[in-house]
Amino acid sequence: MIADPSGGHMTIATSDHVGNRFELLVQNVIDYAIYMLDPDGIIESWNSGARRFKGYEADEIIGQHFSRFYTAEDQAASIPQLALQTARTEGRFEAEGWRVRKDGTYFWANVVIDAIFDPTGTLLGFAKVTRDLTEKRQTEEALRSSEERFRLLVEGVTDYAIYMLDPIGTVTSWNKGAERFKGYKAQEILGQNFARFYSDEDRLAGMPSRALHTAERDGRFESEGWRIRKDGTRFWAHVIIDAIRDPMGRLLGYAKITRDLTERQEAQRALDEARDAIIQAQKMEAIGKLTGGVAHDFNNLLAVIMGSLDLARRRMATGADISRYIDNAMTAAERGATLTQRMLAFARKQELSLQPVDCHALVRGMAELLRTTLGAAIMVEARFPPMLMPVLADPAQLELALLNLAVNARDAMPEGGRLLFEASAVTIAPGERPDLNAGDYVRISVIDDGEGMDAQTLERAREPFFTTKGVGKGTGLGLSMVHGYVQQCGGSLTIASEPGQGTNISLWLPIAAMDAVSPNENGARAGEELAIGPLVILVVDDDELVLTNTAGMLEELGHTVFRASGGAEALSIIDSRGGIDLVVTDHAMPVMTGAQLADHIGQINPALPVIIATGFAELPPHASSRPRIDKPFKQAELARIVAIATHQVPLWIVSSTETH
């Protein structure tokens, strides 16, 4: 190839040998349809790639108009004519769309049409390159025209670098596409090795020679990676190298097609960054909603605790009965502990304590709590059949779930109304419900005659953090947690609601096995066996209030208690005093965690038992085998875990009494 000194079109000087090699290139490219159109769109040449995925033989299609490859809709919209007009006026046309094979089937194609001019500027026709993206395959462009038309076609394609390499990787041809995005003129690059397009690191790693070796061995090499332009800048390239052989199988060289995908790569990077930013924003929004909701719920509980204790302190001075206010404060504190457990369950999938639960007794036991929580404006009714089988559930979580639904119902009836708790036994046949296995269930329904929900709200009702109460007036976890809890029990949750017609939320819970052990029986046995002798116990906690409270509980149980505010102080006491029978330590402490303290104690005195107290749902794996008590805890729970840790009561007795 020789450049025109005037800077115009390229002229062609080639031998028969080079022409044959280009002809072989055309015959070996089968993944691109590359053919010539005259100025009116009549097909003048046809290659094997076009024949392979369009289905026409050369003698069937040469002389026909290229519009027959378009759908009837595109033909009616004059898309073929617009494509040629765009290529004629702008020099090129590119699009993607459905095209039609000879047998009438469709394939999705990427099409590039370049206008071809001779050195005098006369339009000779169009070079058309079509790629079948249905099979996601890319290959070299191939030509079946004469040497002159083939060279013009290659020169007219500007979006692909299409060139030949000899068997050792020397560049033997160069097109305008390669010149456009690699930056080299033909006279600068012909005779050079194609390894110069690779970075220094890739060349040292042997990537160019490995690419040629793969193409020679397998017939084809394909990859994506960074390549280097003449000016030293990098571009992201998609590269295909096909081995070119003569009819005898002798390697003549390689056909190499490169496409600059830098813009796509940058667009993908920008998309990934935008997606990360959106996810981060969603996380922050969720945290904001959660923080506001949790603050609201805890402030309500703290208001009950502080108000009750203040009244108790005032009335205690006059000698009045304060048990009612103490009970109120304890109930609110227990609700706070349950709320914390709910949050931990949501974050870490805390396991439930499933056991047989009498739904009627549970709802009846909530009567006073419901009256206090819902207010006088809400009339609560319960309809339970006389003989209702117990369900398999976590009683504390079920009570919390029903309380959540009751509070939601109250909020939906700002002027007051009726709230109905209803239950019935239901048998689900195989295949009847996609959300439930076949078997016997109890359906507990919470029904209000409030505002109801529209279709959009109903669709999102189970989403975490979704709330209709406004920012800071709810966690948005209530209904989603009920839904998740019921599913963990092996059941399901359904919602029926219409605006102005109230809401019916039903919990479908599986019936417990008949041979299930009653927790109350085990509880009684445990209570009988918890009388243990006095111990010397070291209590460790960095919070002075918690430390004082835990030590007070143990002292009231008759134990001698030493206190430490951190791990280092605890180790010092163990070393200096001796005679310690048990250590009860908080886990989340600065400098040295409770698990780390337990590890140190295990090294110096393996026989000394350690109980880890924590407010987290999870502990480090190596600490999970140690006795553990979850905060907040009552004195009875502390006594039971002390009995376990000191081997004074069997583990199964205590485990059967745990309900949280």
**pLDDT, tens digit, 9 for 90 and up, residues 164-192:** 899 999 998 888 888 888 888 888 888 98
Confidence of residue 525 (pLDDT cuts 50, 70, 90): very low
Position 354 scores a pLDDT of 81
Question: Residue 507 above 90 pLDDT?
Answer: yes
Position 342 scores a pLDDT of 59
| Residue 614 near residue 630, CB atoms below 8 Å | yes
SS3 content of the chain, % helix, strand, coil (to 5): 45, 25, 35
Position 146 scores a pLDDT of 47
Confidence of residue 533 (pLDDT cuts 50, 70, 90): confident
Position 538 scores a pLDDT of 95
Confidence of residue 401 (pLDDT cuts 50, 70, 90): confident
Position 237 scores a pLDDT of 87
pLDDT in tens, 226-265: 888 888 888 888 899 999 888 888 898 998 888 888 777 7
Between 2-6, 482-486, 557-561, the lowest mean confidence (pLDDT) is in 2-6
Residue 109, SS3 per DSSP: strand
Q: What is the pLDDT of the chain when averaged over all its residues?
A: 79
Between 263-267, 393-397, 594-598, the lowest mean confidence (pLDDT) is in 263-267
Angle at 111 between CA 108 and CA 115, to 5 degrees: 165
Q: What is the pTM of this model?
A: 0.37
Nearest by Cα to 112 from 93, 96, 125: 93
Question: Residue 436 above 50 pLDDT?
Answer: yes
Question: Residue 522 above 70 pLDDT?
Answer: no
Angle at 71 between CA 70 and CA 72, to 5 degrees: 120
pLDDT in tens, 309-340: 877 887 888 888 888 878 888 887 877 776 67
Confidence of residue 424 (pLDDT cuts 50, 70, 90): very high
Nearest by Cα to 559 from 659, 641, 651: 641
Position 221 scores a pLDDT of 93
Task: Give DSSP secondary structure letters for 480-536.
Answer: HHHHHHHHHTT-EEEEEE-TTS-EEEEEEEEBPPTTPPPHHHHHHHHHHT------E
Position 515 scores a pLDDT of 54
CATH architecture of structural domain 1-157: 2-Layer Sandwich (3.30)
652 vs 625: which has the higher pLDDT: 625
Max mean pLDDT range (206-215, 400-409, 519-528): 206-215
Task: Give DSSP secondary structure letters for 600-620.
Answer: HHHHH-TTS-EEEEESSS---
Position 70 scores a pLDDT of 95
348 vs 626: which has the higher pLDDT: 626
Position 446 scores a pLDDT of 93
Between 69-73, 261-265, 285-289, the lowest mean confidence (pLDDT) is in 285-289
Position 37 scores a pLDDT of 92
Percentage, residues of the chain above pLDDT 70:
76
pLDDT in tens, 87-146: 999 989 999 889 999 999 998 889 999 999 888 888 989 989 898 888 664 443 444 444
Confidence of residue 541 (pLDDT cuts 50, 70, 90): very high
CATH class of the domain comprising 158-260: alpha beta
Per-residue CA distances from 655 to 35, 522, 636 (Å): 80, 9, 13
| DSSP H stretches of helix in 321-452 | 323-348, 359-365, 367-374, 395-411
Position 17 scores a pLDDT of 56
Residue 260 one-letter amino acid: D
Position 148 scores a pLDDT of 57
Average pLDDT of span 616-633: 69
Pairing of strands 378-383, 417-428: parallel
| Residue 611 near residue 629, CB atoms below 8 Å | yes
Q: Is 136 exposed, middle or buried (0-12, 13-18, 19+ CB in 10 A)?
A: exposed
Position 640 scores a pLDDT of 87
Position 545 scores a pLDDT of 79
Distance CA 24, CA 15 (A): 14
Q: Is 269 exposed, middle or buried (0-12, 13-18, 19+ CB in 10 A)?
A: exposed
CATH architecture of structural domain 519-657: 3-Layer(aba) Sandwich (3.40)
CATH class of the domain comprising 352-510: alpha beta
Confidence of residue 275 (pLDDT cuts 50, 70, 90): confident
For 215-218, which contacts have Cβ atoms below 8 Å and span 24 or more sequence positions? 215/241, 215/242, 215/243, 215/254, 216/167, 216/243, 216/251
Question: Residue 349 above 50 pLDDT?
Answer: no
Question: Residue 519 above 60 pLDDT?
Answer: no
| Residue 219 near residue 243, CB atoms below 8 Å | yes
Position 462 scores a pLDDT of 59
